[in-house]
Structures are given as C-alpha cells and as structure tokens.
Amino acid sequence: MDVKLWNDREMYDDVAELFAIITAMEKLEKAFVRDIISPADYETECQKLISHFKILSLILKDTVPNIKQFHDAYKMNCSAALNRLVTSGVPATIEHRATSVVSECVKNFITRMDSFKLTMMELSDVEQKIEMREWLSTLLLIVLVFFVSFFLGIILKDINVKKVCVVNSDLAQGLQFYTCWYNGK
C-alpha cells in the first residue's frame, strides 16, 4: 500500500482545484453568453474565480509553469476560460463597459455639435443650448475620467504583469504625470 507524502497530496489537491476553476470559468462564460446569469452575478462570480486562479497560479508556479500547456495536456477544451483567466484577467462586463460609455458619449457629442452648427435661434433652442452646455461639461468630465483610468489601468496592469517590485524612473515619472494631471495640479 502506497502512502503519499503530504506535499504530494497537497500539490494534487491544488492541481485539481486549478482544473475545477478553469472548468467553472468556462461554464460561467457560457452561462453569461446565453443570458442565464445576470451581469451583476456574473461579475461577482467571475472576480472570485479570477482571484482564486491568480492565487493558485502563484502556488503552482513550479508545478504548472504554463497554464496553456496544462489546458492542452488535460484536453480541457475551455478556450473562453483561458481567455478570461489568462489573457483578459477581468470580467467581460468590466472589459466592455468603457467602450459602450465612450461610444455613447461620442454619439451624443456629434448630435450636439450638429445642433450647434445648425445655429438654432428660437427661445426654446437657446434653453436647449444652455442645457447642452451643462451636458457637454459633464461629458468632458466623463471622458477625462475614462481617459485617465484607462491609461492608469494600462500602467498598473503592466506593473502587475511584469511583477515589478522596484519602480524604475520612467514608470515613476509616468505615474506622477497621470496622477497630477488627474488631480489638476
């Protein structure tokens, strides 16, 4: 009778957990695409699975150095899960939220600019122009916030991907520029 060492047993448990997370993510992605799960529930569960995946990936970095090879070795057929866990790293609701807001802002901005070009001069049109001015200032603020959060997100994701412990001078200068620009200093 074989008695497995505790380390081996723990490693196999972790590998099994990794397999389960990838499989669960695939099922979650399919459920979201088929509109079986609400976007709020999807986002919550997806973030949980992504965080569990990141922790297990760190634990198993020596045993499973490449998730794609692990996926292929066990013939998992979970391409949506690989995309979400390895490539994207964020739920689809977060990934596509910024693009929909930007497209809506651009559409509204073009509509408002067209109305300004028509030079409407009735009293009701002047009142609408005042509302439009307030709306445009709000729109500009929204675009600026998304612009800054987008670039800070890229920088922070780059730091996370490279696992930089020491920040070099270029990165520090970039972070200082974006945070000062965002704060208006």
User: What confidence tens digit (pLDDT) does each residue in 120-162 have?
Assistant: 544 455 455 556 666 666 666 676 666 666 666 655 555 554 4
Where is the domain boundary, 68, 90, 112? 90
What are the tens digits of pLDDT across the range 83-92?
999 988 888 8
CA-to-CA dists, residue 73 to 18, 23, 96, 175, angstroms: 13, 14, 31, 41
Distance of CA 45 to the CA centre of its chain: 14
Overall domain count for the chain: 2
Beta-carbon contacts of 30 under 8 Å, excluding residues fewer than 6 positions away, are 80
Last residue of a domain, one of 90, 121, 149: 90
Q: Please tell me whether residues 98 and 177 are part of one structural domain.
A: yes
- Domain span at residue 53? 6-90
Overall average pLDDT of the 14-29 stretch = 94
Domain boundary among the residues 44, 71, 90 is at 90
Tell which residue, 92, 11, 81, 95, has the closest CA to residue 53.
81
Looking up tokens 């693009």, which residue turns up? 99
Mean pLDDT, the chain, as a whole number? 74
pLDDT computed for residue 26 by the predictor: 95
Q: What is the CATH number of the domain that holds 56?
A: 1.20.1440.200
CB atoms within 10 A of CB 84: 25
User: Average pLDDT, stretch 31-58?
Assistant: 92
Q: How far does Cα 151 stand from its chain's mean position?
A: 13
pLDDT value at position 87?
86
